[in-house]
A = this chain, B = another copy of it.
Amino acid sequence: MDSARWVYGFEQGDGRNKKLLGGKGANLCEMTRIGINVPPGFVVTTEACVAYLGDPERRLPDGLMDEVRARMVALEKQTGKFFGGSENPLLVSVRSGSAMSMPGMMDTILNLGLNADTLAGLIRQTGNPRFAYDAYRRFVQLFGKVALGVPDELFDEEFDRVKARAGVRTDLELDADALAEISKRFVEVVANHTGRAFPSDPHEQLELAVRAVFNSWMGRRAVDYRREFAITPDMADGTAVNVCTMVFGNMGSDCATGVGFTRNPGTGENQLYGEYLVDAQGEDVVAGIRTPKPIAELEQDLPANYAELVALRDQLEGHYQEVQDFEFTIERGTLYCLQTRNGKMNSAAMVRTSVEMHREGLISRERALARVEPTQLEQMLFPRLDPAHTARSVATGLPASPGAASGQVVFDADRAVALGGQGTPVLLLREETKPEDIHGFFAARGILTSRGGKTSHAAVVARGMGKPCVAGAEGIEVDVARRTARVGAEVIKEGDVLTIDGTTGAVYRGEVATVEPEFTDSLSTLLEWADARARLRVRANADTPEDAERALRYGATGIGLCRTERMFNAADRLPIVIDMIVAETAEARAAALDRLLPIQRADFAGLFRAMAPRPVTIRLLDPPIHEFLPDERQLEDEIARLQDLRGAVRGLEVMADAARMEPGMDLPASLREAGDTRRLDALMARKELILAKARALREVNPMLGHRGVRLGITFPEIYRMQIRAVLEAVLECQREGLEIDPEIMVPQVCTVQEIMLVRAQLEEVRAEVEAEHGVKLPCRFGSMIEVVRACLRAESLAEVAEFFSFGTNDLTQAVFSFSREDAENKFLPMYNERGILQDNPFEVLDVKGAGRLMALSVEWGRSVRPDLHVGICGEHGGHPASIRFCHSIGLDYVSCSAPRVPIARLAAAQAALED
């Protein structure tokens, strides 16, 4: 193209050059170029806009208006109409359009070219004065407003006066005379406000319109929008002006206007979809005053045009290789396409069209993969609220685990089990949850808490289980004792039904309809294609055989993280774990661990069976052990209660003694039982022991405390038990004929000496178990990389570890010095709002900080061990942008919660495609 040119006819412009012609203009050129019947027109380039705005005196570039006038002459030739002609007048629309879609730019001006002469011509031509006056008054108002800056209110006042005089309420009821009157008054309004007559020269109208479009680029809303979304001049600079011949769908019964989708955007079905109105304007379809008809009926109304429409559909999809959302108008039997763009669809439709369009040969497999946004798949994987619902939320918390659920509110885990066990859908509502609530999670449909962030116990456990969770809904005040909660003035009683939306954080009263997820055949197919294309493998974080089976269904290639502490938290194990913690001697601790060993072995065997022959990565115990103990205040309260009880019992004993002195009297059984003081004393002693331990273990900063491998080295018998349980489980499964691929990894590593000690322990236990059973047992050994120092010592760790697994949750906390629990409740939302941080780094991996460290660490680690296997098992492992980054730094796999596996598979494929 000639760079000195400011104007391109639709038939001249390069449809790919959106930067020069704007998105809308380029598309109009493109459609014209491929022979689609677009009303003739032309585009004034963005370069003209930039030149105009760059001139301090705001002169239009030399030659611009000459080119425009030349194009108008060409338009007259093409259409046989005359701009400003009183016979067969040519009217045009004027629209803005920059390289990127951007709200806040100029409104469309329709019907430009009208004045007293052309209006008369239009009336003559159409024989429809009402149509003509309506077109005129619309033009005067829009032009007055957007090109001349006349406030809308001034027009509205006049309009209301005329309606009042006519005694009508809506425009539709006004006749041609009334509309003529309105047009007249509008022209006066403009003259009064601007102090000049309304411009009647169509060329002057056009020049003013072009200037108005250009100026709108620097309008307040447009500038703010570009700043807000960081749209820089290299992305879009200046706006184009699209000038297009008017066509009318409201000139009679051989006219129509409508919108179409080349495929059904709700289902993806390969059928023309849309709606239309005969003898109507585009506005009418949108306004909803008349009900549009399904597009299939056009076959009866205007059969020839319908056939053209079907052909148009094929042509559009064939050309754009994408589902199109287009607008059309039929003017006196001629079909015009006014606009087309890529169709927005729900995820099921996106997936189905991807698969089908590829099978139809329309798009490549790569394109089929690339066009689906991975996070969109969430819709297909979690139940969600019916998009049509109109319920209003009563409270809002953090969207802690996606999906929607309804159920009767219960205030504790036991009640959840009691009610849930009978099949009643229940929601567990707690101030915050603790490990001892875990059985309640299994029984409930969803979890709602009034305190805690996205990393609270409730949030993490719910995400792991794939159950919806809203956390930290601070408006809700829970009163467990009274079995009620308050939200403002409202009271929620146990048994009341609530609905939570874990995808948005909203809480509703009553049952809101939900849509169940559907793992369609199309999705399976698409994800198979994704796997074939991806380099990154996708594993799942799973702690139970059920988790593992679900992960398999979702296509996981292994388990990347099994958190053994989850197993410790189950109701039947916690007392043993507490015994282990409060043990005063190594023997007592060993005794507790001996009881845990068969349980852990069974846990691991269950996982191995579910996943065989895929790899399963077991992480040794990570959290500080005080997390397994009840809260100190709670213990203090319980002990105080027990002391009261003990006092009461002592009173009973005195009474009993007195009673015994009365001959023939005996104590009632209940009293005798309550009086079992030994049992009470034992209970109190145990609570006091636990309290003392809890106090001794208390930490100022538990996140940075005595946990992970530090704990494993302090109490080697714990890791020894876990290692033995893993190896014996491998043995058990191998004897069943299964092929097992186990990996053990060590959490919180910061120095190579730590993993050397644990590795030595592994080899020792392995030698023992192998000798006991006369077998050889496989087991790879690796290190979590979640401490900054582990990244910095990667060369040395890689000498001992066969694989690295980035724990990006903890790593992010350490890189930012943000405690997630504190940050998300205190300052992080403010940081995001003020743009100090673009994203929440606990959701979107911080590529510039944490990511830089990860990249260095991978490079350093592989410099020592070139085949070092590296993965990520933090929550970021399930987020597309983070997955893309993991791919770019050469990781081998990502591991995420089971429900995010499909999302990760698609994201992994897209990452590979971008290479």
A461 within 8 A of B: no
Partner-B contacts on A (CB < 8 A): 699-706, 710, 713-714, 748, 750-751, 753-754, 757, 786-789, 792-793, 810, 813-819, 821-823, 826-827, 830-831, 834-837, 846, 848-850, 852-853
**Contact between A836 and B702, CB atoms less than 8 A apart:** no
A853 to B788, CA, bound (A): 10
Check A815/B836 contact, CB under 8 A, given A703-B701, A706-B822, A849-B750: no
Contacts of A819 in B (CB 8 A): 699-701, 703-705
Nearest CB of chain B from residue A831's CB, rounded to whole Å: 8
Task: Give the CA-CA distance A703 to B834 in the complex, in Å.
Answer: 24
Contact B821 A751 (CB under 8 A): no
Q: Please determine whether A822 and B700 come into contact, CB atoms closer than 8 angstroms.
A: yes
A853 x B792 contact (CB < 8 A): yes
7 contacts between A and B (CB under 8 A): A700-B819, A704-B822, A705-B823, A753-B836, A786-B817, A788-B788, A788-B816
Give the complex CA separation of A437 and B162 in angstroms: 81
Residues of B within 8 A of A701 (CB): 701-704, 819, 821-822
Q: Across the interface, do B814 and A817 meet the contact criterion of CB distance under 8 Å?
A: yes
Contact check, B702 vs A817: say whether CB atoms are below 8 A apart: no
In the complex the two chains form, is A788's CB within 8 Å of B815's CB? Answer: yes
Q: Which residue of B lies closest to A703 (CB)?
A: B701
**Most chain B CB atoms below 10 A, which of A751, A813, A846:** A751
Q: A704-B822, A706-B826, A710-B827 are in contact. List 15 more A-B contacts (CB 8 A).
A: A699-B826, A702-B822, A705-B819, A706-B823, A710-B826, A713-B830, A713-B831, A787-B815, A788-B849, A792-B815, A792-B848, A792-B849, A793-B848, A810-B817, A814-B815
Q: From residue A827, how far is it (CB to closest CB) to chain B in Å?
A: 5
Q: Across the interface, which residues of B come within 8 angstroms of A699, CB to CB?
A: 819, 822, 826
Shortest beta-carbon distance from A915 to chain B in Å? 25
**Cα distance, A703 to B705, chains bound together (Å):** 11
Q: For residue A846, which residues in chain B have a CB less than 8 angstroms away from its CB?
A: 789
Kindly identify which residue among B787, B821, B830 contacts A817, using a CB–CB cutoff of 8 Å. B787
Which residues in B have their C-beta under 8 angstroms from that of A830? 713-714
Residue of B nearest to A749 (CB): B817
Tell me the complex Cα distance, A830–B701, Å: 19
A750, A821, A831 pick with most chain B CB within 10 angstroms: A750
A827: nearest chain-B partner, CB-CB: B710
> In the complex, are the beta carbons of B788 and A826 less than 8 A apart?
no
Report whether B748 and A817 are in contact in the complex, using a CB–CB cutoff of 8 Å: yes
The 7 A-B residue pairs with the shortest CB-CB distance, nearest first, are A701-B819, A704-B819, A789-B849, A753-B836, A701-B701, A701-B703, A705-B822
Quick check: A714 and B748 within 8 Å, CB to CB?
A: no
CB pair A817–B714 under 8 Å, yes or no, is: no
Complex contacts, A788 vs chain B, CB 8 Å:
788, 814-817, 849, 853
Contacting residues, chain B, for A827 (C-beta < 8 A): 706, 710, 713-714
Residues of B within 8 A of A834 (CB): 713
Q: Are A836 and B713 touching (Cβ within 8 A)?
A: yes
Q: Which residues of B contact A714 (CB under 8 A)?
A: 827, 830
A852 with B705, Cβ < 8 A, contacts A748-B817, A787-B817, A837-B751 known: no
Q: Are B700's CB and A700's CB within 8 A?
A: no
Check B700–A703 contact: CB distance below 8 A: yes
B753 close to A835 (CB less than 8 A): yes
Bound Cα distance A835, B756 (Å): 12
Question: A754 is contacted by which of B793, B836, B848 (Cβ under 8 Å)?
Answer: B836
Shortest Cβ gap from A674 to chain B (Å): 31
Report yes or no: B836 in contact with A757, Cβ–Cβ below 8 A. yes
Chain B residues contacting A793 (CB-CB under 8 Å) are 848-849
Residues of B contacting A849 with CB < 8 Å? 750, 788-789, 792-793
List residues of chain B with CB within 8 A of the CB of A815.
787-789, 792, 814
Choice from B702, B753, B816 contacting A750 with Cβ under 8 Å: B816
What chain B residues lie within 8 Å of A751 (beta carbons)? 836-837
Q: How far is the CA of A714 from the CA of B814 in the complex (A)?
A: 21
Which residue on B lies nearest to A453, using beta carbons?
A: B700
Residues in B with CB closer than 8 Å to A852 are 792
Q: How far is the CB of A594 from chain B (nearest CB, A)?
A: 25
A837 and B787 CA atoms in complex are apart in Å by 15
Q: Is the CB of A821 within 8 A of B700?
A: yes
Specify which chain B residues have a CB less than 8 angstroms from the CB of A713 in the assembled complex: 827, 830-831, 834, 836
Which chain B residues lie closer than 8 Å to A835 at the CB level? 753
A710: nearest residue on chain B (CB-CB)? B827
Residues of B within 8 A of A818 (CB): 704, 750
- Whole-angstrom distance between the Cβ of A67 and the nearest chain B Cβ: 44
- Give the nearest-CB partner of A757 in chain B: B836
Q: How far is the CB of A554 from chain B (nearest CB, A)?
A: 32
